[in-house]
């Protein structure tokens, strides 16, 4: 930006200097021409005036001569002609001066007035014509009558000339002086003007030179800056490039990109092509949308970093030693603002492999330490009998998980078939672990569930995708081993706690309800009835089912307190589970007085999860929409938390019930309640209650 | 750029007070947001626990700034954001969510949210995010 | 606890061998855990690991698979010794990969070869083994990682 501005300024200045030069030259020439014309007029007038200066004396002399001639009665015509000529010349000269207007008008007028008076005295003399003499016998040649008058006129003119010629000469002298001084003034001004013009041209020339030097210096510093930029781009460890609005990479990029991406053709490459083979299509689509947000004007750059889909990109590249290596790249995007808004998006790519690995190790050791503590705290709170029962269940459950893993699989389909079973098993174990507040176990199950879920979103599944799952499973088994050891020691030192009123199912539900109430800030009252009558054969299924229903009710069903108040409901949410024998078997009614389930919400969620199409959703009646909740992969919670939102849950409940011949139905009223009615066939009552 | 979009209000003459609406289905989170904002020029004008209620409160209180959860019953945050921006293009919306799915987060931004804050968040993070939101892009 | 990266290096060492030697990649079957490792196939290449982790890693394959592999490698000799050599090579590749990628953290032995289904390898005591089926063409072998 600095560059473009200074380069924009230079031509403007050059043009300005040129204009100034032309303008001042024009002024000098024009003024010089006028001054020179003026000076020329003054000089010509001065010459005229100077020559006029001698005329009064000439005229005096010529009158003298005329008188002498007349006195001695010699030929006077010639003298009179001389006088006439001089007079005419003086007339003409003064007229010229008046025309030229170079002379000082006051002095000129004085001279002309004086001369006019002089001229009047001369007029009778000049007007004379004819012979002044007449020959007389007595005295020879004598003046004729006209001659006498002429002589008299001459004598009078002589007398006037003697008195006034000097004055006229002086007045003409004044005109000459005026002309001389005005000529010298004009000459002086002309000289000044020329000097000024030369000075101005000189200064402008200096300015031009200075600008040229400055421009050179700017160009040099721009060049140096460019070189420095090149140096930086060559040595910096981060990959830098600019994206234009068409998502294309600009011509300037740092060399580190070469190493990171193993290619050279960055300039003009589209961002999509750069990432095409490195990033899963869904992530790439999100990344492009993310970058697009930066071109818009709503998104805050700093407030969207946490959702950057390329904040930690795992890529596999050929290592320098020939093998494959996994590296982690971090893409960071910044707006580059120009005068008209976003000009570019600067993308910085860092290789964060070592920090990712370090963080992972740290987390491993930290979570190990905190897990030990959590475990101890969890275990001291847990009823040893329940714990023992859970450990057995977990053992069996994880054996099942491993058995599912062990099923031979080669193609994508065979691998994909494992996912549902794994999810169901893990989810139900997680529910129990959370109910017992075995956080460390529940967290591991949650993580394992996440890994399995990640497999589901992969395009073409292979055994390699399940390696993290089996590693986590190993870790979980090791952890449970630890739990068993600690629990074994604890059981030696603790008395078993008496079972709650409604048996272990009730205790588990009470504990879970308390926990959910705490975590979600919703006061909850749990009403249980008849759970002690659950036949042993159904105990596990009913317990799993109730844990799931309770979870859903607490997380999705019961509204936040203020909403309840707004709806005129009691601030404490009521959840009830009532188990009773019926003539044909058993009935379990589970109810919450929460927000109910809206058919539209289920449809929208199903469409978003691509379980059904928009058209199917539109055609679906309420009953069919309600049935959606029992489909695998549907959850109305967008977030993934320990308690809900994994997309399994109700399908676990439904399948579990199916496996023991039960059925489930749902009734709901938006804003008022949700009620599940579960019927179970008669079982061997002889096995008695509980587990 | 965002600044240019800001609709002038009578309060602009003196100190501008921003009106905040908090939308989250968790009581705890709502209270935390209410508690933790220490801005003199920010005033909580309403709270809501789901998208539909949020639109009602939005229409009634005309907030300048909204914090928005995505995971909510009745109407989710994404849809709610779209409606709010339609109603008042100058509104600034901070999504506060535990969402792990970045595609949905980006979708929320595409619908018109101005920023995103991950749950769990610290008071400092929240204050910084709101300050950033009020400052403009 | 075994890290994913560590497991992957053993797995990649194995699949690399097929890709390079037979120009046909092997695929992974579904991995699982076993307290008692499954029985061996006819030929088994073993490396012993010590240092940061201790235990064994071995590749066990049926004779039929090795025979096809040899054919793909343009071999004409299908004798017992050639088969032994071949599993030895696979084990060699695995240990080479591991040496290169783990550096000094692991001490990896020169591979040894066991033949015969009746033979057994003692897994690392107290450690579960990771069993990774290796599919190649219509045959299956196993990579067993037993490290503590």
A689: pLDDT strictly greater than 70:
no
Q: How many CB pairs under 8 A join A and B?
A: 125
Task: State both tokens at A562.
Answer: 């203020």
The residues of A whose Cβ lies within 8 A of any Cβ of C are: 321, 323-324, 326, 364, 402, 405-410, 414-415, 418, 462-464, 466-471, 473-475, 477-478
A561 contacts B98? CB cut-off 8 A: no
> How does pLDDT run across B14-29, given as a tens digit for each residue?
567 889 999 987 666 7
How far apart are the C-alpha atoms of B27 and A89, rounded to whole Å? 123
Task: State both tokens at A511.
Answer: 């504990």
- Domain C4-147 fold is Chemotaxis protein chec (3.40.1550)
Give which of A421, A419, A477, A467 is closest to A444, Cα–Cα.
A477
Q: Which residue has the higher pLDDT, C35 or A5?
A: C35
What SS3 class is residue A633?
Answer: coil
What SS3 class is residue A71?
Answer: helix
Both A420 and A526 in a single domain?
no
Task: State both tokens at A38.
Answer: 């003026």
C29: pLDDT strictly greater than 90:
yes
Q: Which residue has the higher pLDDT, A509 or A487?
A: A509
pTM score above 0.90: no
Q: What is the pLDDT of residue C67?
A: 92
A near C: at least 3 beta-carbon pairs less than 8 Å apart? yes
Q: What is the pLDDT of residue B23?
A: 92
Q: What is the pLDDT of residue A645?
A: 43
Both A245 and A262 in a single domain?
yes
Contacting subunits of A (3+ beta carbon pairs below 8 A): B, C
Which residue of A323, A418, A477 is in closest CB contact with C100? A323
- Given the structure tokens 């947001």, which residue do they identify? B33
Give which of B28, B16, B23, B70 is closest to B46, Cα–Cα.
B23
Quote the percentage of chain C above a pLDDT of 90.
26
To the nearest whole angstrom, how far is the Cα of A321 from the nearest Cα of chain C? Answer: 8
Q: What is the DSSP string of C76-91?
A: ----HHHHHHHHHHHH
Q: Once rounded to an integer, what is the mean pLDDT over residues A616-640?
A: 74
Q: What are the beta bridge partners of residue A347?
A: A241, A333
Q: Is residue A536 part of a domain?
A: yes
> How does pLDDT run across A248-278, given as a tens digit for each residue?
998 888 888 888 888 888 888 999 999 888 8
First to last CA, chain C: 7
- Residue in chain A nearest C2 by alpha carbon: A471
> How does pLDDT run across A630-662, given as a tens digit for each residue?
877 665 544 444 444 444 467 778 878 888 888
Which range marks the domain in which residue A558 is found? 503-597+636-691
pLDDT grade for A397, boundaries at 50, 70 and 90: confident
A306 contacts B132? CB cut-off 8 A: no
B80: pLDDT strictly greater than 90:
yes
Question: Which B-chain residues 75-114 have CB contacts (< 8 A) with chain A?
Answer: 76-77, 94, 97-107, 109-110, 112-114
In degrees and rounded to multiples of 5, residue B24 shows phi and psi of -165, 140
A415 contacts C31? CB cut-off 8 A: no
Chosen for mutation from C18, C31, C124 (greatest number of chain A CBs closer than 10 Å) is C31
Task: State both tokens at A100.
Answer: 């030229």
A690: pLDDT strictly greater than 50:
no
**Domain endpoint, select from A325, A351, A377:** A351
Both A476 and A511 in a single domain?
no
Which residue of A285, A303, A639 is in closest CB contact with B116? A303
Q: What is the pLDDT of residue B17?
A: 82
Chosen for mutation from A286, A288, A304, A307 (greatest number of chain B CBs closer than 10 Å) is A307
> Which positions in chain C touch A467 (Cβ < 8 Å)?
4, 7-8, 11, 28, 31, 132
Question: Is C29 in CB contact (< 8 Å) with chain A?
Answer: yes
pLDDT grade for B123, boundaries at 50, 70 and 90: confident
Give which of C32, C6, C4 is closest to C94, Cα–Cα.
C6
| Segment among A70-84, A484-498, A569-583 with least mean pLDDT | A484-498
Question: Is A491 in CB contact (< 8 Å) with chain B?
Answer: no
To the nearest whole angstrom, how far is the Cα of C91 from the nearest Cα of chain A? Answer: 17
B near C: at least 3 beta-carbon pairs less than 8 Å apart? no
C28 contacts A467? CB cut-off 8 A: yes
Task: State both tokens at A370.
Answer: 């905190």
Q: Tell me, what CATH number does A374's domain have?
A: 1.20.120.160
Both A93 and A15 in a single domain?
yes
What is the DSSP pairing of strand A585-592 with strand A324-338? unpaired
- Given the structure tokens 């939308």, which residue do they identify? B23
Alpha helix stretches (DSSP H) within chain C: 4-22, 63-72, 80-102
Q: What is the pLDDT of residue A640?
A: 41
> Which positions in chain A touch B132 (Cβ < 8 Å)?
300, 302-303
| Segment among A139-143, A180-184, B124-128, C13-17 with least mean pLDDT | A139-143
Domain count, chain A: 4
To the nearest whole angstrom, how far is the Cα of A326 from the nearest Cα of chain C? Answer: 9
Residue B48 Rama label (left phi>0; alpha psi -120 to 50; beta): beta
Q: Tell me, what CATH number does A679's domain have?
A: 3.30.565.10
Please enumerate, as own/partner, the contacts of A494-502 that have beta carbons within 8 Å and a separation of 24 or more.
A494/A384, A496/A383, A496/A384, A496/A385, A497/A383, A497/A384, A499/A383, A499/A385, A501/A532, A502/A528, A502/A529, A502/A530, A502/A531, A502/A532
**Domain endpoint, select from A295, A325, A351:** A351
Task: State both tokens at A468.
Answer: 């993290």
Both A139 and A245 in a single domain?
no
Mean pLDDT for chain A overall: 82
Question: Is A638 in CB contact (< 8 Å) with chain B?
Answer: yes
Q: What are the beta bridge partners of residue A667?
A: A675
Both A462 and A377 in a single domain?
yes
Tally helices (H) and strands (E) across chain B.
6, 5
| Segment among A213-217, A465-469, A573-577 with least mean pLDDT | A213-217
A408 contacts C30? CB cut-off 8 A: yes
> Which positions in chain B touch A457 (Cβ < 8 Å)?
none
B109 contacts A299? CB cut-off 8 A: yes
Q: What are the structural domain ranges in chain C?
A: 4-147
In degrees and rounded to multiples of 5, residue A134 shows phi and psi of -140, 135
B108 by Cβ neighbours in 10 Å (0-12 / 13-18 / 19+) ranks as buried
> Which positions in chain B touch A636 (Cβ < 8 Å)?
73
A177: pLDDT strictly greater than 90:
no
Q: What is the pLDDT of residue B88?
A: 93
Torsion of CA A459, A463, A469, A474, to 10 degrees: 180
> How does pLDDT run across A290-310, given as a tens digit for each residue?
999 998 888 888 888 888 989
> Which positions in chain C touch A406 (Cβ < 8 Å)?
30, 32, 131
What is the DSSP pairing of strand B92-97 with strand B65-68? parallel
Both A561 and A489 in a single domain?
no
> Which positions in chain B touch A345 (Cβ < 8 Å)?
none
Quote the percentage of chain A above a pLDDT of 90.
9
Peptide bond into A448 cis (omega under 30): no
Q: Which residue has the higher pLDDT, A388 or A88?
A: A88
Tally helices (H) and strands (E) across chain A.
20, 12
How far apart are the C-alpha atoms of A115 and A52, rounded to whole Å? 11
How far apart are the C-alpha atoms of C136 and A463, rounded to whole Å? 13
B97 contacts A521? CB cut-off 8 A: no
pLDDT grade for A579, boundaries at 50, 70 and 90: very high
> How does pLDDT run across C67-116, given as a tens digit for each residue?
998 888 877 888 888 888 888 888 888 887 777 776 666 777 778 888 88
How far apart are the C-alpha atoms of C54 and A38, rounded to whole Å? 116
Contacting subunits of B (3+ beta carbon pairs below 8 A): A
Which residue of C1, C3, C130 is in closest CB contact with A470? C130
Both A684 and A536 in a single domain?
yes
Domain count, chain B: 1
Q: Are A534 and A689 in contact (CB under 8 A)?
A: yes
Q: Once rounded to an integer, what is the mean pLDDT over residues A119-142?
A: 81
Q: What is the pLDDT of residue A2?
A: 40
Q: What is the pLDDT of residue A537?
A: 81
How far apart are the C-alpha atoms of B84 and B107, rounded to whole Å? 15
A462 contacts C28? CB cut-off 8 A: yes
> How does pLDDT run across C69-81, given as a tens digit for each residue?
888 887 788 888 8
Which range marks the domain in which residue B123 is found? 2-7+14-135
How far apart are the C-alpha atoms of A573 and A196, rounded to whole Å? 98
Q: Are A580 and A531 in contact (CB under 8 A)?
A: no
How far apart are the C-alpha atoms of A53 and A48, rounded to whole Å? 9
State whether the Cα torsion C93-C97-C100-C106 is positive or negative: negative
| Segment among A91-95, A119-123, A673-677, B8-12 with least mean pLDDT | B8-12
> Which positions in chain C touch A473 (Cβ < 8 Å)?
33
Both A394 and A262 in a single domain?
no
C129: pLDDT strictly greater than 50:
yes
Which residue of B29, B100, B133 is in closest CB contact with A303? B133
Both A390 and A337 in a single domain?
no
Both A110 and A32 in a single domain?
yes
Q: Once rounded to an integer, what is the mean pLDDT over residues A1-13?
A: 51
How is the beta sheet containing B115-118 ordered, strand by strand? Answer: B42-48, B18-23, B65-68, B92-97, B115-118
- Residue in chain A nearest B71 by alpha carbon: A638
Which residue of A286, A307, A562 is in closest CB contact with B27? A562
A near B: at least 3 beta-carbon pairs less than 8 Å apart? yes
What SS3 class is residue A1?
Answer: coil
> How does pLDDT run across A315-352, given as a tens digit for each residue?
877 666 566 677 889 999 999 888 888 888 999 998 88
B84: pLDDT strictly greater than 90:
yes
B71: pLDDT strictly greater than 80:
no
Chosen for mutation from A357, A366, A464, A468 (greatest number of chain C CBs closer than 10 Å) is A464
């Amino acid at each position: 930006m600095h560059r473009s501005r200074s380069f924009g300024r230079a031509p403007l200045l050059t043009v300005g200097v040129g204009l100034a030069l032309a303008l001042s030259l024009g002024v000098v020439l024009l003024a010089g021409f006028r001054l020179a014309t003026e000076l020329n007029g003054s000089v010509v007038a001065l010459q005229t005036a100077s020559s006029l200066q001698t005329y009064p004396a000439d005229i005096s002399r010529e009158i003298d001569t005329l008188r002498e001639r007349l006195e001695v009665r010699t030929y006077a015509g010639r003298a009179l002609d001389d006088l006439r000529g001089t007079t005419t010349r003086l007339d003409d000269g003064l007229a010229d001066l008046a025309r030229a207007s170079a002379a000082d008008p006051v002095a000129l007028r004085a001279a002309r007035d004086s001369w006019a008076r002089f001229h009047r005295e001369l007029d009778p003399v000049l007007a004379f014509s004819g012979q002044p003499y007449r020959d007389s016998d007595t005295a020879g040649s004598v003046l004729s009558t006209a001659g006498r008058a002429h002589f008299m006129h001459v004598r009078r003119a002589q007398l006037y000339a003697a008195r006034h010629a000097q004055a006229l000469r002086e007045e003409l002298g004044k005109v000459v002086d005026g002309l001389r001084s005005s000529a010298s003034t004009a000459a002086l001004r002309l000289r000044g003007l020329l000097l000024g013009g030369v000075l101005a041209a000189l200064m402008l020339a200096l300015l031009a030179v200075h600008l040229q030097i400055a421009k050179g210096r700017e160009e040099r510093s721009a060049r140096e800056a460019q070189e420095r930029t090149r140096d930086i781009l060559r040595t910096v460890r981060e990959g830098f490039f600019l994206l234009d609005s068409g998502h294309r990479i600009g011509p300037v990029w740092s060399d580190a990109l070469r190493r990171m991406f193993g290619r050279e053709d960055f300039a003009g490459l589209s961002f999509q092509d750069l990432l095409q083979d490195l990033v899963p299509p869904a992530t790439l689509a999100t990344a492009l949308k993310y970058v697009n947000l930066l071109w818009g004007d709503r998104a805050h750059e700093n407030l969207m970093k946490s959702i950057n889909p390329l904040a930690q990109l795992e890529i596999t590249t050929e290592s320098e030693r020939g093998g494959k290596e996994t590296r982690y790249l971090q893409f960071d995007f910044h707006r580059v603002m120009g005068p008209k808004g976003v000009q570019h998006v600067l993308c910085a790519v860092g290789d964060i492999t070592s920090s990712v690995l370090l963080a992972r190790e740290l987390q491993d050791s930290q979570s190990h330490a905190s897990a030990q503590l959590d475990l101890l705290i969890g275990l001291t709170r847990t009823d040893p009998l329940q714990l023992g029962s859970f450990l057995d269940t977990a053992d069996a459950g994880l054996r099942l998980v491993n058995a599912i893993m062990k099923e031979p699989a080669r193609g994508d389909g065979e691998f994909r078939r494992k996912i549902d079973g794994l999810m169901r098993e893990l989810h139900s174990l997680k529910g129990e672990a959370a109910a017992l507040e075995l956080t460390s176990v529940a967290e591991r199950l949650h993580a394992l569930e996440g890994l399995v879920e990640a497999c589901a979103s992969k395009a073409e599944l292979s055994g390699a995708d399940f390696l993290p799952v089996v590693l986590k499973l190993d870790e979980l088994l090791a952890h449970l081993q630890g739990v068993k050891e600690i629990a074994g020691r604890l059981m030696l030192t603790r008395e078993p706690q008496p079972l709650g009123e409604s048996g272990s199912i009730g205790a588990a539900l009470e504990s879970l309800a308390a926990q959910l109430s705490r975590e979600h800030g919703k006061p909850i009252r749990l009403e249980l009835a008849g759970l002690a009558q659950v036949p042993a054969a159904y105990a596990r299924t009913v317990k799993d089912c109730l844990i799931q229903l309770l979870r859903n009710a607490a997380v999705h069903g019961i509204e936040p307190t203020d909403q309840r108040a707004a709806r005129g409901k009691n601030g404490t949410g009521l959840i009830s589970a009532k188990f009773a024998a019926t003539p044909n078997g058993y009935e379990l009614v589970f109810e919450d007085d929460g927000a109910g389930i809206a058919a539209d919400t289920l449809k929208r969620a199903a469409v978003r999860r691509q379980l059904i199409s928009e058209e199917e959703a539109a055609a679906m009646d309420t009953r069919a929409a309600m049935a959606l909740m029992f489909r695998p992969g549907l959850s109305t919670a967008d977030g993934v938390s320990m308690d809900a939102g994994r997309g399994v849950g109700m399908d676990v409940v439904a399948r579990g019930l199916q496996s023991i011949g039960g059925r489930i139905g749902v009734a709901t009223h938006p804003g008022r309640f949700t009620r599940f009615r579960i019927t179970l066939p008669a079982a061997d009552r002889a096995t008695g209650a509980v587990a | 750029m965002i600044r240019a979009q800001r609709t002038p209000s009578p309060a602009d003459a003196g100190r501008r007070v921003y009106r905040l609406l908090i939308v989250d289905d968790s009581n705890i989170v709502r209270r935390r947001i209410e508690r933790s904002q220490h801005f003199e020029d920010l005033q909580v004008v309403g709270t809501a626990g789901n998208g539909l209620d949020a639109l009602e409160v939005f229409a009634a209180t005309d907030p300048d700034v909204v914090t928005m959860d995505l995971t909510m019953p009745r109407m989710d945050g994404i849809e709610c954001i779209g409606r709010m921006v339609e109603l008042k293009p100058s509104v600034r919306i901070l999504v506060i969510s535990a969402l792990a799915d970045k595609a949905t987060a980006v979708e929320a931004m595409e619908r018109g949210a101005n920023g995103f804050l991950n749950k769990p968040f610290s008071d400092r993070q929240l204050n910084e995010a709101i300050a950033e939101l009020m400052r403009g892009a | 606890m075994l890290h994913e990266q560590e497991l992957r290096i053993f797995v990649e060492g194995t699949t690399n061998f097929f890709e390079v030697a037979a120009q046909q990649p092997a695929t992974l079957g579904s991995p699982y855990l076993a307290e008692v490792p499954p029985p061996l196939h006819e030929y088994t290449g073993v490396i012993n690991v010590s240092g940061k982790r201790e235990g064994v890693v071995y590749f066990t394959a049926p004779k039929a698979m090795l025979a096809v592999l040899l054919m793909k490698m343009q071999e004409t000799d299908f004798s017992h010794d050639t088969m032994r050599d071949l599993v030895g090579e696979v084990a060699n590749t695995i240990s080479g990969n591991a040496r290169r990628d783990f550096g000094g953290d692991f001490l990896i032995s020169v591979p040894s070869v066991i033949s015969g289904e009746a033979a057994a390898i003692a897994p690392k005591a107290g450690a579960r083994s990771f069993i990774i089926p290796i599919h190649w063409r219509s045959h299956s072998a196993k990579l067993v990682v037993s490290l503590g």
